[in-house]
Structure 1
Amino acid sequence: MKKILLYIVIVMSLMSSQAMALEQGDKEQFIKNAKTYLLAHNMRTFNVVMQYVSPKVLETIAQDNKLSLANLTSIIPDNLRNEALKGKKTNYVGNFEKIESQELGTILVVTIPMNYDVVDKDGKNIRLKNQLIGMKTEGKWYFINSDELSLLDYYKKAYPELVNLKLAKLDFEFLDPEFDMKKGKFASP
């Protein structure tokens, strides 16, 4: 009996230490994996999107779905991507991509084409295009690069000739039923 109890204690302590290690884990690796997970099945993603994934958003997704960070990274991106490419468990409606994931339930990934009108140093209007990638899970929207200031910073570095860079117009090319016309944005936490 004592041996059994000792065995249970040892196993429990090992499980506990492993759980702590997984939870504390390498967050940089988690973020890298999560970026891949969120973006792998969307082939029209620009590099700017990858640069501004918010770790807090990713952690929120994990917490809302009662997943540890380690469990979130255990989802194999290639599986979702291959299913999407084969048309399995995937339903395209315009720019929406619906993916059924056993781990996360129904995920709705949306690509929003955006047009930025900016002004260069000579006062000439230039239209830059980008994409906003959103993810809906558990009835909530999460956006990967919704920070306009980050996008402007990116453009300033990418296009140094645009000295007077400013956001003149944000043009959504389609509207979702949950798009709040008055607030001009999706409902998001």
Structure 2
Amino acid sequence: MEYQILIAGFGGQGVLSLGKILCSAGMNDDYNVTFYPSYGAEVRGGTCHAGVVIADTPIASPLVNKADALIMLNEPSLKRFLPRVKPNGLVIYNSTLVPHPPEFNGTYDVQRIPATDIANDMNLPRASNMVTIGFFFKFFGLIQTKTFLKDCEKHFFKLSPEMHEQNKAAFFKGYEYEPKHCKR
């Protein structure tokens, strides 16, 4: 089994942090993992994406060529990377920042979540990435939720205990969000 995930958004949205935490959690659940970050020279505000491969066998390449899942945090990323998802693959996007989604033609399992709106309602405007990844975990069964949250704690607690609690709350807001199936 090999599962490829592509996460993309603007620099500063926590794309690379999500990829690193997913990889760490995958290793802690005894999977082979790779993490392949890519970002423009601008870093904050520029485009960035992270490829994550999780497998129970050795991984031949860290590149995500045909993703099983896309986690898209903004519209330019969704339009750019949609061709790289497998047929019937999972596409999750932040509908707050994707006001004009492309036509999906029923070829993907498309789920949308207003992650930025939810994060703003929590007074945590920088936590839309955690809202989105929490929502992703409704559909993703490889890594245990508790393992992912433990790795989030390692990542965020060292920055501040308050930041860890805020990110954990944002994760659960996303996890609890009721999906609205979106076949356009």
Identify whether the pair has TM-score above 0.5, normalized to the shorter chain: no
Higher Rg: 1
> What is the TM-score when the length of structure 1 is the normalising length?
0.35
